[in-house]
Amino acid sequence: MTPDARTLAPIFIFGLTSLGAYLVGAGLRGLRPAALSEAMRDVLEALGLGVFFLLVNLAVGAVVVLGARRLTGHFVSIYLLSDVTLPILSLVQALVFQHWRERSK
């Protein structure tokens, strides 16, 4: 498999299963196609909330790291904030907050 094909493989699989989900949803489950754009809008909103939580987490994390360095005199690496778990946890925060907001209406 060429590097280009390997790069595009996730997109291909994503496209294939998305099409399958659409056909199952619209055909077998009777979901309204018109509601799909509204669902995508809600997803974009949740993603935006995730980005917002990530920015807040990074800002708070930076203050905590720099503060810990100053207060304790010990070195704490700022690279702690570049861990891959932080964006994932931020997205979890966003989804919980989004659903909380929805259920509070």
Partner 1 sequence: MRGAGLGLRILGLAGLLVLVAAAFTPLPNRLNAWMAGSPQLESADAIVVLGRGGADSDGVLTNRSLRRVLHGVELYRSGLAPLLVLSGTGEETGARSVLVQGLGVPAAAILEVSSVHTTREEAERIGQLLLPRNQRRILLVGDPIDMPRTRAVLERVGFAVLPAPTAATGPSLPEGRLALLRDITTELVGLAYYRVTGRL
Shortest distance (Å) from residue 96 CB to partner 1: 15
* Interface with partner 1, residue 5, by CB under 8 A: no
Task: Please choose, out of 15-23, 26-34, 39-47, the segment that lies near partner 1 by the rule CB under 8 A.
Answer: 39-47
- Among positions 12-31, residues that touch partner 1 (CB under 8 A) are none
- Kindly state whether residue 53 participates in binding partner 1, applying the rule CB under 8 A: no
- Pattern of binders to partner 1 over 77-96, x per CB under 8 A? xxx-xx-x------------
- 3-state SS of the chain? CCHHHHHHHHHHHHHHHHHHHHHHHHHHCCCCCCHHHHHHHHHHHHHHHHHHHHHHHHHHHHHHHHHHHHHHCCCCCHHHHHCCHHHHHHHHHHHHHHHHHHHCC
Enumerate binding residues for partner 1 (CB under 8 A): 3, 6-8, 10-11, 41, 43-52, 75, 77-79, 81-82, 84
